[in-house]
Structure 1
Amino acid sequence: MTTFDDRERGYESKFAHDANLRFKADARRNRLLGEWAAGLLGKTGDDARAYALTVVTSDFEEPGYEDVVRKLAADLQGKADESEIRAKMAELTLVARRQIIDEAE
């Protein structure tokens, strides 16, 4: 095997690893976002966890995160507007990434 092949395999492995971490961080962010929204909706305990899971699964409807924003905007009418949801999403993205990185170490 050549050095080029080794390098290519290394890049492919890093790309796959990074994609996996992004997926985990996005799912974690969505769960945290669901827990935040559940609190705004007055849900607690198992109801809050179940609601957070619906937020996580809503992200599988289409590529990107607009499907999550639409779901939360519809569910949180009168409690949080779209800009507040997007701000919370940005905040929780950083939290989720840090948690995933800390767990990987």
Structure 2
Amino acid sequence: MALACASHACHFLLAGQARSFHAQPYHAKVGVVEFLNGVGKGVEAHAAKLEEAVGGDLQRLLEARTLRLKKLGIPCKHRKLILSFAHKYRLGLWKPKAEPRKVE
């Protein structure tokens, strides 16, 4: 049993990163507009308002809290999406794609 676990651990260490079967194009530089377009779901409608409020700095958008977004007049559903994707982006779990997501 210990030998089987050791071989699996060795396999995972040698395998490195997980494979991705879908090539996803990413922006070289991510700005506020690209970030919101990547989130999609109608959030990109607030791009001009947010870019003016944070001065075009994505880092300030990533550090924004829900009360600040509420004062800008962004609806609750969109605030939740922005904050959720900002958290994923900070952790390196998500990046916006080159083409915007399709809303169906």
TM-score (norm 1): 0.34
Q: Which has the larger radius of gyration?
A: 2
Greater relative contact order structure (CA < 8 Å, 6+ sep): 2
Tell me which protein shows more helix as a share of its residues: 1
